[in-house]
Amino acid sequence: METNQEKELLDNWISITNIQMNMTNELENALQKNHGLLLKEFYVLYFLSQQSDKKLRLQQLQESVGLSQSAMSRLVTRLEAKSCGALER
């Protein structure tokens, strides 16, 4: 049986998680509407922009963004296909 303190901690955790999910959804909707970008695509561009030479290995990007190797490769391919000049292999 859980104590009142455990219930309160769990309720707080769920509340924080819901706030984070709502913020993430709102950010992704705004990025999609205003720039045609998914949140993960934004993260890739952001992490690249933080490098002085604007270069990162795919493995570094996948670790930073939290995607598998194949998912990162597909994401990079999609960004290249957009032909906006923001990304090249």
Model confidence pLDDT, tens digit, residues 32-85? 999 888 999 999 989 988 988 888 888 999 999 999 999 999 998 888 887 666
Q: What is the structure's pLDDT at 76? A: 87
Encoded amino acid at 10, one letter = L
Apex CA 43: angle with CA 41 and CA 46, to 5°? Answer: 110
CA distance 77 to 42: 14
Q: What is the structure's pLDDT at 84? A: 64
| Mean pLDDT confidence for 16-42 | 95
Q: What is the structure's pLDDT at 2? A: 76
Q: What is the structure's pLDDT at 25? A: 97
